[in-house]
Amino acid sequence: DSGVTQTPKHLITATGQRVTLRCSPRSGDLSVYWYQQSLDQGLQFLIQYYNGEERAKGNILERFSAQQFPDLHSELNLSSLELGDSALYFCASSPSGGAYNSPLHFGNGTRLTVT
């Protein structure tokens, strides 16, 4: 068990809808990362938050947004969903601002299916 909790495990929704994925980092970790895993794109970095502030952005679509709350949990909001957004979404956490002094520990992921 990595200590990173993601909810829900599975999500099925229709095109055009909006969903929210939730992540609780390991106790003491200040950074949260979101990744998208799909068959064609592999594991893609979306966005990172560190202690409540956006720290780095990757290949995140404008329809997607995220935030990190004072208790350090994070939410990833996906709107105007398209079929191509179907993927496994991972959250990871680390104690510091990056992987330079600690690995990222990943949650079990949220499987999103857009129909």
Q: Should residue 33 be labelled a site residue for other proteins when binding is judged by CB under 8 A?
A: yes
Closest distance between other proteins and the C-beta of residue 74, in Å?
A: 14
Closest approach, Cβ 80 to other proteins, in A, equals 24
Three-state DSSP class for 85? helix
Neighbours of 81 (CB within 10 A): 21
Among 3, 43, 63, 77, binds other proteins (CB under 8 A): 43
- Work out the widest C-alpha separation in the chain, in whole angstroms: 41
Nearest-5° Cα angle at 48, 104 to 40 = 80
**Residues 40, 19: Cα–Cα separation, whole Å:** 22
* Interacting positions 72-111 with other proteins (CB under 8 A): 88, 90, 92, 97-100, 102-109, 111
Under rule CB under 8 A, residue 68 binds other proteins: no
Name the minimum Å distance from CB 29 to other proteins. 13
